[in-house]
Structure 1
Amino acid sequence: MTTAPRDTPLAQKLKAKIVREGPISVADFASACLSDPEHGYYRRMPAIGAAGDFVTAPEISQVFGELIGLWCAVVWQQMGAPRSFNVVELGPGRGTLMRDALRATRIVPGFHDALSVHLVESNAALLPLQQKALVPSGAAAVWHGSTGDAALALSQSAAPFLVIANEFLDTCAAEQYVVENGQPIPRAVGLDSNGDLVFTLLPERAPPPDLALPDAACDGDCIEIQDFSFFAPFQRLMADRPGAALFIDYGAERSHPSDTLQAVQHQQQCSPLASPGEADLSFQVDFARFRASALSEGVAVDGPVPQAAFLGQLGIVERASRLMSANPDKAGAIEIGVQRLMAPVGMGSRFLAIGVRSAALPVLPGFE
């Protein structure tokens, strides 16, 4: 793990803020690293791909995006095949998932005629890549700078909708608390005697009054509380029209004490404090907390289930076999990509899928 700190422009900005106002919470630090208007990672770094900082499932195998596209088409049919229908992708990266999804769903009668595509992207550097990726489909997409803008756009009509997101929940910042003498103490980012960024505890700051420690929490444990409030506007829309969402991400099915904050730069782990604004920061998703948050809004939740089980239910093996038969020169690469997605000690088990839907809709595909 790379730990040597760099005095990046964002590091300088955060240090000045800490000098003025005192230590900042871990959640505020992570949010600044990713979304600062001037220096945030997701505002300007290409990030995804072999030359970037990480590789996502759609970049590993085209079958992933194709299956997600067909999943969307089946849910559309479950909704009664409405003549107007919105699909929103959160964090579309290079546009690979949506490109593959639209290519696979050309065979579904009426789906493309009904479909309006919405992409939520805050990184201007990725917009040209996404636009280029969608050219073959002929889809007319609408771009939004935030999830709130996308939800507002959906609210302007009564059309049913779907939200899809691969590796988006892990970017939701988490507050951290360290247990001392049976009490949760807020963890923050401050400055050491040399003026370098350092993690610190703030016993003088009171935690939220409704913060309950897990039964198994011991002194020294780290408790993370992720903020999933971005999803609330979409959940409210599900109350008055057919709506559903699919999230796939790495994390744990049950809540447990752990410091999961990590940073990746050039496909290698580094200290979260080493290069603010120049490394991708993320948290492992607490799927139990996300599920509870969704259920509190009166919607139905399916899963979570391991990615391998979800993709298996959608027919990944059969689709990959057909693709390999049609493209024998690429069969080896296709097989390797699918194996990587399904690996029982890798992505197949570390990544989970969870579905959220209007209460009147049936169980979503892949979660039966």
Structure 2
Amino acid sequence: MPPPGAPTGEPLLAERLARAITLGGPIPVSQFMAAANAHYYATRDPLGAAGDFTTAPEISQMFGELIGLWAADLWDRAGRPEIAWVEPGPGRGTLTADALRAMRAAGLTPPVHFVENSPALREMQARAVPEATWHDDVSTLPANVPLIVVANEFFDALPIRQLVRGADGWRERLVACQDTLFLPIAGGAMPAGIMPEALDTAAPGSVVETSPASVAIMAGLSALIEAQGGAMLVIDYGYEGPAVGDTLQAIRGHAYANPFEAPGEQDLTAHVDFATLALAAEASGCRRSGPVGQGAFLTALGIDARAAALGPRVAEDRRRLVEEMGELFRAMAVRHRDWPEPAGFA
């Protein structure tokens, strides 16, 4: 039966995708991932024990509180200007709710702007942060004040292209369908000169991933920051590219699954290329700090002192944030050229 919140009277996403591929031919991985995640996030709460995965803000209040203090410190050293707080893909709104509490204690009470398309998640965000303003994309964000943007586990869910090395060159990976069985196949050959020369010697079967959607959003947000002032903090799991490897994965019920099964019923993600995001930001004129491991970042912000204040009950939460997630997850900041260096990156 359809998942809770699915539109009634419409075929499941898998059936719609199967029909489209049967009629029009295989589609790029990016198109498959975009359709699957759009449906997935629009129709459920994916977080927590009853969902498919848990993010850092849901593990402990310490995460959002420290990011709130990070923002308040940066705002204070920038001269306490009027700012707006922006979070794209804010989940349940937990991070912002915890950050607002910490910022308020430091004298910062910014208006909140969420970039979110999911009706189901907007309802939960409204309960956590009722004063928020919602946007469908970054084009309608405030254009007259500096922005503090926090993107936590946002870029990993944006669609990627996958390019596969064949015996005769690079080909884009496509998704084909037999009945409702989806499977990846190699598409037509890429034009000569498209791929960097450094990849000419890659072994057959090698996979390279790109995310034009991520670059576009990073460039858009960086342009706003360079024009208006402010900074952006990106926390996600990933690497500093270029790199070769297939990182597309699916999570369902807190376990890994086949990413080409049950589109729209599981979370699809890929590792974030921080080097490419940094280049997009720097092309807009912004300055970059990091990336550093999440563990080192939170430690520099004072998570040990906060954990000691909260007592033994948070010891396991601290371990998960600093040790379990500490190296795979990375933190990077970009800022207006006239804003001070943010904390956590020394």
Please, what TM-score do these two structures have when normalized by structure 1? Answer: 0.86
Q: Is the 8 A contact 1:93 1:126 kept in 2?
A: yes
Measured in 2, the distance between the counterparts of 1:182 and 1:320 equals 55
For each residue in 1:196-231, what CA deviation from the matched residue of structure 2 results, as whole angstroms up to 9, or x when unmatched? 211110125x35854325446222100101122112
Shift >6 Å, 4+ stretches: none
User: Which residue of structure 1 lines up, in the alignment, with residue 63 of structure 2?
Assistant: 64
For each residue in 1:85-117, what CA deviation from the matched residue of structure 2 results, as whole angstroms up to 9, or x when unmatched? 1010111111111111111122213x11xx111
Q: Match for 1:300: what amino acid?
A: R
Q: Is the 8 A contact 2:218 2:277 kept in 1?
A: no
Call closer, same or farther: CA 1:267–1:208 in 2, change over 3 Å: farther
Once the two structures are TM-superposed, the CA of residue 247 in structure 1 deviates from its matched residue by 0.7
Measured in 2, the distance between the counterparts of 1:143 and 1:105 equals 20
Identical amino acids, percent of aligned pairs: 39
Measured in 2, the distance between the counterparts of 1:339 and 1:189 equals 39
User: Which residue of structure 2 lines up, in the alignment, with residue 92 of structure 1?
Assistant: 90
Which of 11, 30, 33 is equivalent to 1:30? 33
Q: Match for 1:26: what amino acid?
A: V
What aligned pairs does 1:102-117 form with structure 2 within 5 A after superposition? 102-109=100-107, 111-112=108-109, 115-117=110-112
Task: Count the aligned residue pairs.
Answer: 333
Please, what TM-score do these two structures have when normalized by structure 2? Answer: 0.91
User: Which residue of structure 2 lines up, in the alignment, with residue 5 of structure 1?
Assistant: none
Q: Secondary structure at the match of 1:239?
A: helix
User: Which residue of structure 2 lines up, in the alignment, with residue 160 of structure 1?
Assistant: 146
For each residue in 1:222-274, what CA deviation from the matched residue of structure 2 results, as whole angstroms up to 9, or x when unmatched? 01011221122221122222121001001113331111110111111111111
Q: Does 1:311 align with 2:314?
A: no
Q: Does 1:141 align with 2:126?
A: no
Q: Is the 8 A contact 1:58 1:96 kept in 2?
A: yes
Which of 211, 214, 217 is equivalent to 1:226? 211
Q: Does 1:181 align with 2:193?
A: no
Q: Does 1:355 align with 2:297?
A: no
Measured in 2, the distance between the counterparts of 1:172 and 1:338 equals 28
- Give RMSD over aligned pairs: 1.7
Q: Is the 8 A contact 1:79 1:242 kept in 2?
A: no
Q: Secondary structure at the match of 2:327?
A: helix
Q: Match for 1:298: what amino acid?
A: G
Q: Is the 8 A contact 1:182 1:218 kept in 2?
A: no
Once the two structures are TM-superposed, the CA of residue 362 in structure 1 deviates from its matched residue by 2.2
Measured in 2, the distance between the counterparts of 1:58 and 1:207 equals 44
Call closer, same or farther: CA 1:286–1:153 in 2, change over 3 Å: closer
User: Which residue of structure 2 lines up, in the alignment, with residue 217 of structure 1?
Assistant: 202
Q: Secondary structure at the match of 1:55?
A: coil
Q: Secondary structure at the match of 1:360?
A: coil
User: Which residue of structure 1 lines up, in the alignment, with residue 3 of structure 2?
Assistant: none
What aligned pairs does 1:190-205 form with structure 2 within 5 A after superposition? 190-192=176-178, 196-204=181-189
Q: Is the 8 A contact 1:185 1:207 kept in 2?
A: no
Call closer, same or farther: CA 1:74–1:323 in 2, change over 3 Å: same
Query: Could you list the runs of 5+ residues in structure 1 that have no partner in the other structure?
Result: 1-7, 325-330
Once the two structures are TM-superposed, the CA of residue 79 in structure 1 deviates from its matched residue by 2.1
Q: Match for 1:60: what amino acid?
A: I
Measured in 2, the distance between the counterparts of 1:24 and 1:16 equals 12
Q: Is the 8 A contact 2:218 2:280 kept in 1?
A: no
Q: Is the 8 A contact 2:78 2:340 kept in 1?
A: no
User: Which residue of structure 2 lines up, in the alignment, with residue 335 of structure 1?
Assistant: 315
Q: Is the 8 A contact 1:310 1:366 kept in 2?
A: yes
User: Which residue of structure 1 lines up, in the alignment, with residue 238 of structure 2?
Assistant: 251
